[in-house]
Amino acid sequence: MVGSLRHTLHHLKPLNLKRATAPGYLGDGGGLYLQITKSGARSWIFRYSLGGQRREMGLGAFSRVRSDAPPPVSLATARKLAAEKRALVAGGTDPITARDAERARQRLQQARGVTWAKAVDQFLAAHEATWRNAKHRQQWRNTLTAYASPVFEGLSVGSIDTPEVIKVLDRIWQDKPATASRVRGRIERVLDWAKVRGYREGENPARWRGHLDKVFPTKAKVKRAKHHAAVDIDDAPAVYARLCETDGMAALALRFVVLTAGRAGEILGARWLEIDLQAAIWTIPGARMKAGQVHRAPLSREALAVLRAAAKYRVNDRIFPSSRRGRPISSSSLLKVLQAVVAADATVHGFRSTFRDWCSERTSFSREVSEMALAHTIENPAEAAYRRGELLRKRAQLMEAWARFLTTPAASANVVPISRKQRA
């Protein structure tokens, strides 16, 4: 048997290899072939069959195409490699599977030098372009450094397992459930990235479903969400009227917040170049939006009146500048004005809730229109796929109705009539 096998091997001669240029395969026997491509590249191929499946495995280039390519594999070396692969096949082992397993073992061996800190640095660098802004990126680093690093410090990213993750979360899950949930999710993403990079293997110890959800209660059960204190719908016109009687840039900015149902950060950073007065549209850059996407907000006549009032004090491109040169007014200034005109507790952000409640309880506009006015991210993938337009016309009608409600005396402002033609 051995003698007959020898007769089926070593068909190729050095002279044959030197002269061979035509595209195709030259067989040496025992599954070893020299492959020549149309471009003239030449490499060794090992063909085999295992479990009824035919497979092909590369053994290396016969000639170097680029100066930076790996050293070429000689005929003698290729025959030695092919013999090793035949021995694996004879023993029932797939050579490709064995090669991949060895590469994974080597990567894990190298990963022992990749610590948690190094993995975090590399992860943040790899995802730098995806962060909405530098502040968001810093929040990632700060939370991982403050909560995960004290436990993971000095550990290789490949050795972190469930006990270490639980130790991180045990310290904060009861007192800071929202923070703990973010930390868990961020650890999970870093470890997923490390696995794809070959720095670790196996299941992710920070995964929630079917794993940590058996250890920790959901954050909703730990502590009820604390909603932003909001002005009651029926009190909103009176509050807005008192704002109109209040002097100062902060009062104008707060009126604009209320009229647009925007977030304070969107308004405080607003610039004149974002405003199209003729079209009555405010285009907010994605960098200032929570969802990271450009948002076009229709402006009511009352909102345009606020802008005209602010324009009288224009000193730079900021719509609502502070007395500190080149800076916008602060969110604390808005809160101070609000507290001066509202007897009960209320927050600036709470006006978004007031607007949302007004939309659902006092108008016939659809939920879709009000959600788009609030620039809320769509969590339902099916709903997101169908929402293609901006519904600007309907949103303009909604914001005009909201402004009319705010500027109408309370006795006649309880119901905002929306005609059938206006309904979304």
Q: What is the pLDDT of residues 233-245, one digit of tens each?
A: 888 899 899 999 9
For residue 259, give the CATH number of its domain.
Answer: 1.10.443.10
- In the predicted model, residues of the chain with pLDDT beneath 70 are 1-7, 64-70, 107-113, 132-133, 219-228, 324-328, 343-344, 377-389, 410-424
Closest CA to 298 of 383, 387, 372: 372
Does 352 share its domain with 269? yes
Residue 363 tokens read as 């108008």
- DSSP 8-state assignment for residue 73: P
β-bridge mates for residue 60, sequence order: 44
Q: How far apart are CA 48 and CA 97, in angstroms?
A: 13
Does 367 share its domain with 276? yes
β-bridge mates for residue 235, sequence order: none
Contact 36, 47 (CB under 8 A): no
For residue 104, give the CATH number of its domain.
Answer: 3.30.160.390
Identify the pLDDT of residue 326.
58
- CA angle, 131 then 135 then 137, to 5°: 45
Q: Name residue 277's amino acid.
A: L
422 assigned to some structural domain: no
Does 40 share its domain with 24? yes
Domain count, the chain: 3
74 assigned to some structural domain: yes
421 assigned to some structural domain: no
What is the distance between the terminal CA atoms of the chain, rounded to a whole angstrom?
Answer: 83
Decide which of 75, 109, 143 is a domain's last residue.
109
376 assigned to some structural domain: yes
* pTM across the whole model: 0.48
Decide which of 222, 241, 259 is a domain's last residue.
222
Identify the pLDDT of residue 280.
93
Contact 391, 410 (CB under 8 A): no
Q: 384: burial class by Cβ within 10 Å (0-12, 13-18, 19+)?
A: exposed
Does 81 share its domain with 179? no
Q: How far apart are CA 70 and CA 88, in angstroms?
A: 25
Does 284 share its domain with 169? no
| Neighbour tally for 375: CB within 10 Å | 19
228 assigned to some structural domain: no
Decide which of 222, 248, 267 is a domain's last residue.
222
Does 134 share its domain with 85? no
424 assigned to some structural domain: no
Identify the pLDDT of residue 106.
72
Closest CA to 166 of 209, 205, 222, 220: 205
417 assigned to some structural domain: no
Does 194 share its domain with 50? no
Expressed as residue numbers, the domain containing 192 is 116-222
Does 104 share its domain with 173? no
Does 100 share its domain with 127? no
419 assigned to some structural domain: no
Does 140 share its domain with 50? no
For residue 176, give the CATH number of its domain.
Answer: 1.10.150.130
| Neighbour tally for 298: CB within 10 Å | 22
Identify the pLDDT of residue 66.
61
Q: Name residue 264's amino acid.
A: A
Does 26 share its domain with 82? yes
Closest CA to 146 of 124, 127, 172: 172
Does 150 share its domain with 251? no
